[in-house]
Amino acid sequence: MASENFVQPAIPCFDGHYDHWGMLTENFLRSKEYWQVVSDGIPELTAAMTDAQKTDIEGMKLKDLKAKNYLFQAIDRSILETILCKDTSKQIWDSMKKKYEGSAKAKRQQLQTLRTEFENLKMKSGESIAIYFSRVMTITNKMRMFKDKSKDIIIIEKILRSLTPKFNFVVCAMEESKDIDELSLDELQSSLLEVEAEVKRRETTTNGISSSNNETINLKQEEKVGDKEAITLHLINENLKTNLLSVGQLQEKGYKIVIKNGVCRVQDEKLGLIAQVNMTSNRMFPLYLQSLTHSCFSAKVNDEAWLWHFRYGHLHFGGLKTLQQKNRDSFSKGKSWRAKQVLELIHSDLCGPIDPISNGGKRYFVTFIDDYSRKTWVYFLQEKSETFSTFKNFKAKVEKEAGMSIKILRSDRGGEYNSQEFENFCEEYGIKRQLTAAYTPQQNGVSERKNRTIMNMVRSMLKSSGVQKNCWPEAVKWSIHVLNRSPTFSVQDQTPEEAWSGRKPSVEHFRIFGCIAYAHVPDPKRSKLDDKGEKCIFLGVCEKSKAYKLYSPITKKVFISRDVFNEAEFWNHEKCKPEQRIQVDFEDGDEATSQQVETNNEVVDTPEIPPVGAVERAQRVKQRPAWMQDYVVTGIDQSDDPVVHFALFSDCDPVAFEEAVKKPKWREAMNNEIAVIERNNTWELTKLPKGQKAIDVKWVYKTKLNEKGELDKYKARLVAKGYKQEFDVDYKEVFAPVARHDTIRLVIALAAQNSWPIFQLDVKSAFLHGELQEKVFIKQPPGYVKLECENMVYRLKKALYGLKQAPRTWYSRIETYFLREGFQKCLYEHTLFVKLGKDGKMLIVCLYVDDLIYTKNDAAMFEIFKQSMMLEFDMSDLGKMHYFLGLEVVQSPSGIFISQRKYLQDVLMSDYAGDIDDRKRTSGYVVMLGSGAVSWSSKKQSIVTLSTTEAKFIAATSCACQAIWFKQSMGVCSFNEPK
């Protein structure tokens, strides 16, 4: 029976993932006792072997055949063809390992990718603990397959940090536990599963209504049983055991009481049946309301408490209560060491990168926390490398304020803190360094928890106020400003600001982040009929003056002012949605006609639609005027169905920045353009010198399509308004050559004649590489004005699209590169460059602005040129040439084929004095190289000829000039001159 119930283990099939397959297959072969043959191989027979040893070798050969059979069954047929020639299982195993295991560099890259994915893990809303644990462990096991040495404590801390908010109380409890380092993953999962079950049980518990005889009362609303209705018309008396429900007040509120056949029903005219209950034996109609411990029958909302809750960045009410109390009991002291004076210990940590990038181009922020007072300072960075210079500024500032020196700096081992320059600076000033152990963030717990608190407050404030996410630095500043003036368990009876400065801070200036503020407009900046106040958004306080920092969504600028606030109102960011509709009435005398117009370009405020059943004032129906009865407007469908109007609108490229910024795809395109400009070091922010003028810039948007007419990408280009440039002031020379189409076809023909492949490269933002000689200043681009630098401009170091000299600077840049790399420039075609090597080796490059095509007869020269271009410029490798300037190119072993059929049909059409206006004839010619046409023309002659012979001589002259030009160009390429 045992043999009948035995199940043959399945052979692991190779699915492309060698590490996983190799581990399973190794275990499988070990279970069959064949692994030693696969790993060590079979020793060769020698004459010195004994009979017993020869017998063992024969047995090993049999095992080797069986192991080969298993490996053949585990490998797909397409891969099997490559290993059929292998004689032993060891050769098969080594071949598979060499092909699919990958190099150590590739493994490191895969491990880094997995680590990034691990760090970005976050529990989704509504996701169960079991599913989330499965996702975490899947990535963790993959990392360990690549020899990752992360301990279980790292995984546990990651899981605790990334749980949804409903598990926050569990996280806090476990973080306070003393044995978290000894907690295993299985124990953690078991604990969280129990908590999850309890949370689900609480969420499913409802406040049911039942009678005294345990009969269930179903609430009914719009014919749906089970919905709840709030019953608030009752009396609470401390001396009564139950509450009395007022029937009179129910009737006054519009409810209808029906008592019939021993059943009491409460009904509403709009909602229908609200509740019903049967009469008991004592002729009463009792309602039993099951209440939980957190329910109450009477409550009073303290509006002032909620107001300060929002002003303090959603600080918990316990902290607000602490602020209100004069005295409070001291907390028990922990065992951890604390500083005895300010600046004795500074905690620091970097947070980021944060997406989206701020208006000022910042991606990170770094915090410095004084251990004694727990006051926090924050600085915003574009790159991590700015941390060292920021620390020097922080050190100079706080030491000047406190009159003391920093003694200890505690941080993690990030590269921004661990540089040699940072270490030397600390040694020079006697600052002791305390660095955390690898993958042990809890050793820097003060900074880690502070950053987490800051980000929680930032998310809450941005969400509740509706402020755009790129204003996150202002939210971070305000959060830290609030936290420095909020109570903390670490400082007894004081706020961090008071512990640092010795003075009680004032909070009279606190306002709700993101609320509406009305900034006064000075008289010189407005006309008589303009508003005296501008509606803005509150973003915090100014550190350098006693005023507020405000942001105007209309002008996209941040400024400082003292203003009037309306903390109950927030900016309506949804107001300008393009889907809103407007109503247009056409009036004429006493009669009028009404016509509804739908638009996605204009936005107005529309009144709220009254609810169904509301009493409305009667309105006169507007009739069409008699004189318009015979007017007919064509092209308008009179159908009431709104679907028929959808075809009137299409998604075209935006014209203005205000239109494009509303769509994420164009915002991303603009962010990419700004990133390329800044990465290329194109400009620098400076003040406008006296006597200089700054040139305006604008955004140009274009949807790029491929050769099939399909969407390729969305491109946003920042363009300077070059028409405002002055000659000999902002520019001098502007000429820049571009390749003729004849040159392009010549290069294609040469490649086809010699069976060479043609490849294509594209230079990204080519004009941004051109070095400017003149001093050119431009204004900051719309939507990317630096905060607190609104009056500054950019000085261009390199060219920008739209400048008159931009094409010339780019050509000079690429020409210099080609000549430096050993290319020769054709004297007759300045965009044709040739590099000659030994033994007839050759590389030909043709340039058309930012597009390059190149061909060669040597693979080594090709790779060197390609790598050199990639290092010199930001390039896109388009591979083999297939679409170039409207030419469709097909490369095959039989030749290179280009197609432009419609163009050929247009230009090759010939006539004889066919122009009826001036009776001029048309010249046409075709230049052939080998068996293919490389140049052709069909143009009207410039003069009127008297005979056909004269017209032919003019055409022959044009053709001869073209042939001579081809002959000279081919001579540069070291080819025999064609006849």
Mean predicted confidence (pLDDT) in 338-363:
85
What proportion of the chain, given as a percentage, has pLDDT over 70? 74
Mean predicted confidence (pLDDT) in 767-778:
81
pLDDT at 639: 45
Find the DSSP H helices in 247-325.
Answer: 247-252, 303-311, 317-324
Which residue shows structure tokens 């004095």? 913
Judge whether 899 and 745 are in contact, CB under 8 Å.
Answer: no
Mean predicted confidence (pLDDT) in 921-948:
83
Judge whether 513 and 478 are in contact, CB under 8 Å.
Answer: yes
E strand segments, 9-92:
none
CA angle 138, 143, 145 (to 5 degrees): 95
- Whether pLDDT at 924 is above 50: yes
Residues 241 and 271 in one domain: yes
Amino acid at 146: F
Greater confidence, 189 or 330?
189
* Count: domains in the chain: 8
Mean predicted confidence (pLDDT) in 787-793:
84
Judge whether 794 and 778 are in contact, CB under 8 Å.
Answer: yes
Which residue shows structure tokens 């800051």? 454
State how far the Cα of 892 lies from the Cα of 895, in Å rounded to an integer.
5
Greater confidence, 247 or 367?
367
pLDDT in tens, 297-337: 445 445 566 666 666 666 666 666 666 554 444 444 445 67
What CATH number has the domain bearing residue 434? 3.30.420.10
Strand-strand pairing, 432-435 and 408-411: parallel
User: Which residue from 387, 367, 374, 366 is spatially nearest to 345, judged by alpha carbons?
Assistant: 374
pLDDT in tens, 869-913: 888 887 888 888 877 777 778 888 888 887 776 566 555 555 566
Judge whether 697 and 796 are in contact, CB under 8 Å.
Answer: no
Going across the sheet that includes 683-686, the strands are 683-686, 793-796, 777-778, 694-695
For helices 317-324 and 303-311, give the axis angle rounded to 10 degrees: 100
- Residue ending a domain, choose from 204, 230, 261: 204
Mean predicted confidence (pLDDT) in 817-842:
86
Least confident of 99-103, 118-122, 373-377, 606-610: 606-610
The two structure tokens encoding residue 478 = 């305000």
> What 3-state DSSP class applies to 921?
coil
What number of other Cβ atoms are within 10 A of residue 375's Cβ? 23
State how far the Cα of 949 lies from the Cα of 407, in Å rounded to an integer.
100
pLDDT in tens, 392-429: 899 888 888 888 888 889 888 888 888 888 888 998 88
Contacts for 275-281: CB closer than 8 Å, 24+ residues apart = 275/209, 275/217, 275/219, 275/229, 275/231, 276/217, 276/218, 277/211, 277/215, 277/217, 278/211, 278/213, 278/215, 280/211, 280/212, 280/213
Amino acid at 780: Q
Strand-pairing partners, residue 252, are none
Give domain status of residue 2, yes or no: no
User: Which residue from 816, 778, 782 is spatially nearest to 795, judged by alpha carbons?
Assistant: 778
Number of H helices, E strands in the chain: 26, 39
User: Which residue from 211, 226, 220, 227 is spatially nearest to 275, judged by alpha carbons?
Assistant: 220
The two structure tokens encoding residue 500 = 């640092």
pLDDT at 624: 58
Give domain status of residue 52, yes or no: yes
Residues 84 and 53 in one domain: yes
The two structure tokens encoding residue 24 = 């399973």
Residues 672 and 643 in one domain: no
Judge whether 855 and 758 are in contact, CB under 8 Å.
Answer: yes
The two structure tokens encoding residue 29 = 């072969």
Which residue shows structure tokens 């820097």? 444
pLDDT in tens, 724-760: 666 665 666 767 788 888 888 888 888 888 888 888 8
Residue 892 host element (H or E): strand 887-892
pLDDT at 368: 92
State how far the Cα of 253 lies from the Cα of 270, in Å rounded to an integer.
13
Find the DSSP H helices in 801-947.
Answer: 806-820, 859-872, 901-907
Give domain status of residue 468, yes or no: yes
Residues 263 and 352 in one domain: no
pLDDT at 51: 80
Q: What is the mean pLDDT of the chain?
A: 75
- Residue ending a domain, choose from 83, 101, 119: 101
State how far the Cα of 85 lies from the Cα of 219, in Å rounded to an integer.
78
Cβ contacts of residue 734 below 8 Å, gap of 6+?
A: 804, 805, 807, 808
Q: What is the chain's Cα-based Rg?
A: 40
User: Which residue from 964, 942, 966 is spatially nearest to 954, judged by alpha carbons?
Assistant: 942
Q: How many residues does the chain have?
A: 979
State how far the Cα of 620 lies from the Cα of 591, in Å rounded to an integer.
11
> What 3-state DSSP class applies to 914?
coil
Give domain status of residue 776, yes or no: yes
Mean predicted confidence (pLDDT) in 960-970:
86
State how far the Cα of 792 lies from the Cα of 701, in Å rounded to an integer.
26
Residues 913 and 930 in one domain: yes
DSSP 520-533: EPPGGGS-TTS-SE
Strand-pairing partners, residue 695, are 778
Give domain status of residue 332, yes or no: no
768 to each of 192, 674, 776, how far by Cα in Å?
55, 11, 14
pLDDT in tens, 643-697: 444 444 456 788 888 888 888 888 898 998 888 888 888 888 888 888 888 888 8
Give domain status of residue 614, yes or no: no
Least confident of 10-14, 231-235, 602-606, 898-902: 602-606
pLDDT at 379: 92
- Whether pLDDT at 353 is above 60: yes
Residues 448 and 317 in one domain: yes
Residues 476 and 349 in one domain: yes
Confidence of residue 708 (pLDDT cuts 50, 70, 90): low
Residues 453 and 363 in one domain: yes
> What 3-state DSSP class applies to 644?
helix
pLDDT at 603: 35
pLDDT at 979: 54
Give domain status of residue 509, yes or no: no
Mean predicted confidence (pLDDT) in 946-972:
85
pLDDT at 648: 41
pLDDT in tens, 520-574: 777 777 777 777 777 788 888 877 777 788 877 777 777 777 655 555 555 555 5
* Cis preceding linkage at 356, omega within 30: yes
Mean predicted confidence (pLDDT) in 689-707:
84
- Residue ending a domain, choose from 101, 127, 157: 101
The two structure tokens encoding residue 515 = 């609320």
pLDDT in tens, 132-187: 888 888 888 777 777 677 777 788 878 888 888 877 777 776 666 546 667 777 87
Residues 780 and 906 in one domain: no
Residues 160 and 216 in one domain: no
For helices 168-176 and 152-161, give the axis angle rounded to 10 degrees: 140
What proportion of the chain, given as a percentage, has pLDDT over 90? 1
Strand-pairing partners, residue 705, are 711
DSSP 529-556: TS-SEEEEEEEEE-SSSSSEEEEETTTT
List the domain range (segments joined by +) for residue 89.
Answer: 9-101
Cβ contacts of residue 835 below 8 Å, gap of 6+?
A: 821, 822, 823, 824, 842, 843, 844, 845, 861, 865
Residues 157 and 234 in one domain: no
pLDDT at 890: 82
The pTM of this model reads 0.33
Judge whether 884 and 853 are in contact, CB under 8 Å.
Answer: yes
Which letter does DSSP use for residue 647 in this model? G
E strand segments, 693-841:
694-695, 697-705, 711-720, 758-763, 777-778, 793-796, 824-825, 832-836
Strand-pairing partners, residue 277, are 264
Give domain status of residue 611, yes or no: no
Mean predicted confidence (pLDDT) in 582-609:
35
Identify the sign of the CA torsion 672, 674, 675, 680: positive
Residues 318 and 246 in one domain: no
pLDDT in tens, 44-69: 778 778 888 888 888 888 888 888 78
State how far the Cα of 206 lies from the Cα of 219, in Å rounded to an integer.
12
- Whether pLDDT at 718 is above 70: yes
The two structure tokens encoding residue 702 = 């274009």
